């Protein structure tokens, strides 16, 4: 794993002070039947993207096959404010009772079907929850909704949620779980091994988020090292299934070989940052190569850039942070 004992310690705060680094930390909801979430730069309940009235739902409420199901009733996403129907498309997966809404062609939020608030969209009758209906009213019409399902090649765990969206949801679960940054070698089972849930480092955020999409990075890296040892010159001998996938520089070759690599630029309109993208970062420019990793959130920080879900260093927990304005990205990937 990356050594972080001398990485700058930063105070977690939501208030901006002159010259300070701001970390966007989202408060979490108490569940579908509890109080509403209050995340940074996110629509307040009752002020969603649609034109309907009423409070937004406090959790996604979808069937996610991924990690930590006990956090599902705290997990919520929001469509962007000011969203117009021209930017929206939606797919109805009748078999899974799921509606996947995309913005600008990018899967953005899943909605459960089977509620008691009906929304008529052309010939479709969507059985939504009341808050979901309010969020979607005015955004869907007969021309941007169709029946279908996420192709299997983009849905590893076959839950109907596109892999990139599954990664984002998994990353938010790690944020809700708020594991304390804890360095050290931990012997773990193989495959599907993990360190104890209350601990982790930056790579564990990515390992867990990918597992939410049905990808076991531990097994994938270990098997790739056996297949192509020359691609991993930093690994000695047969390597270790307990630690190789937790080291930033060791997993980079696997990402280059098996993931969809995107530009590392922040301002490329032809290849913008997308929620769920995985970014390798260089927190020590005087040293060669990346030493940190995180996942692009769907939330925007005070600096106007997406915040990064990551586990920064000793003394911190997994959280959203404003990093893109001052920590260089060396590589960016997303699931194929």
Closest Cα partner for 1 from 226, 176, 240? Answer: 240
pLDDT at 42: 39
- b (16+ CB within 10 A) / e for 302-327: bbeebbbbbbbbeebbbbbbbbbeeb
Tell me the pTM.
0.87
- Looking at residue 215, its pLDDT comes to 98
Q: Per CATH, which fold does 163-334 belong to?
A: endopeptidase fold (from Nostoc punctiforme) (3.90.1720)
pLDDT surpassing 60 at residue 75: yes
pLDDT, tens digit (0-9, with 9 covering 90-100), for 188-217: 999 999 999 999 999 999 999 999 999 999
**Mean pLDDT, residues 257-283:** 97
- Are 293 and 281 in contact by the 8 Å Cβ rule? The answer is yes
pLDDT digits (tens, 9 = 90+) for 237-249: 999 999 999 999 9
Cβ neighbours of 152 (radius 10 Å): 8
Q: What are phi and psi of 323, to 5 degrees?
A: -120, -30
Q: Lowest-pLDDT range, 9-18, 187-196, 304-313?
A: 9-18
Model pLDDT, residue 55 = 78
* 284 pLDDT higher than 80: yes
pLDDT digits (tens, 9 = 90+) for 60-74: 999 889 999 999 999
pLDDT of 14 above 60: no
Mean pLDDT (the chain) is: 87
- pLDDT at residue 6 is higher than 70: no
Which of 162, 203, 199 has the alpha carbon at shortest distance from 182?
199
Q: Range(s) for CATH 3.90.1720 in the chain?
A: 163-334
pLDDT value of position 10? 54
Asked if 233 and 275 count as a contact pair (C-beta separation under 8 A), the reply is: no
SS3 annotation, the chain? CCCCCCCCCCCCCCCCCCCCCCCCCCECCCCCCCCCCECCCCCCCCCCCCCCCCCCCCCCCCCCCCCCHHHHHHCCCCCCCCCCHHHEEEEEECCCCEEEEEECCEEEEEEECCCCEEEEECCEEEEECHHHHHHHCCCCCCCCEEECCCCHHHCCCCCCCCHHHHHHHHHHHHHHHCCEECCCCCCCCCCCCCCCCCEECHHHHHHHHHHHCCCCHHHHHHHHHHHCHHHCCCCCCCCCCCCHHHCHHHHHHHHHHHCEEECCCCCCCCCCCCCCCEEEECCCCCCCCCCEEEEEEEEECCCCCEEEEECCCCCCECEEECCCCCCCEEEEEECC
Q: What is the pLDDT of residue 94?
A: 96
* pLDDT given for residue 4 in this prediction: 53
pLDDT tens track for 118-163? 999 999 999 999 999 999 999 999 999 999 999 999 999 999 999 9
pLDDT at 164: 98
Which residues, listed in sequence order, are joined to residue 202 by a DSSP beta bridge?
A: none
Q: How many CB atoms lie within 10 A of CB 285?
A: 8
Q: How many Å separate Cα 266 from the centre of its chain?
A: 18
Q: What is the pLDDT of residues 84-96, one digit of tens each?
A: 999 999 999 999 9
Burial of 179: CB neighbours in 10 Å, binned 0-12, 13-18, 19+: buried
């Amino acid at each position: 794993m990356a050594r972080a004992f001398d990485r700058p310690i930063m105070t977690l705060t939501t208030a901006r002070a002159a010259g300070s680094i701001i970390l966007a930390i989202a408060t979490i909801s108490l569940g579908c039947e509890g109080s509403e979430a209050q995340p940074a730069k996110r629509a307040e309940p009752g002020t969603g993207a649609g034109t309907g009235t009423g409070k937004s739902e406090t959790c996604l409420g979808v069937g996610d096959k991924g990690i930590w199901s006990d956090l599902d009733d705290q997990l919520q996403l929001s469509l962007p404010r000011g969203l117009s129907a021209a930017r929206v498309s939606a797919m109805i997966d009748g078999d899974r009772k799921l509606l996947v809404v995309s913005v600008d062609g990018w899967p953005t939020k899943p909605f459960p079907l089977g509620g008691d608030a009906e929304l008529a969209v052309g010939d479709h009758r969507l059985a939504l929850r009341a808050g979901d209906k309010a969020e979607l009213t005015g955004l869907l019409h007969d021309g941007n909704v169709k029946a279908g399902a996420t192709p299997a090649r983009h849905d590893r765990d076959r839950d109907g949620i596109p892999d990139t969206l599954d990664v984002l949801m998994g990353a938010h679960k790690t944020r809700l779980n708020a594991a304390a940054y804890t360095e050290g070698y931990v012997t773990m089972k193989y495959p599907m091994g993990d360190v104890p849930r209350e601990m982790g480092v930056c790579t564990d955020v990515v390992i867990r988020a990918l597992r939410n999409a049905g990808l076991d990075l531990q097994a994938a890296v270990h098997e790739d090292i056996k297949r192509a040892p020359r691609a991993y010159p930093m690994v000695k001998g047969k390597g270790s299934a307990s630690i190789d996938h937790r080291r930033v520089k060791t997993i980079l070759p696997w990402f280059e070989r098996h993931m969809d690599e995107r530009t590392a630029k922040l301002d490329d309109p032809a290849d913008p940052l997308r929620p769920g993208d995985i970014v390798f970062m260089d927190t020590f420019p005087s040293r060669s190569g990346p030493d940190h990793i995180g996942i692009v959130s769907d939330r925007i920080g005070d600096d106007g850039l997406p915040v990064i879900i990551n586990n920064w260093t000793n003394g911190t927990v997994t959280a959203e942070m404003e990093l893109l304005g001052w920590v260089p990205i060396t590589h960016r990937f997303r699931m194929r």
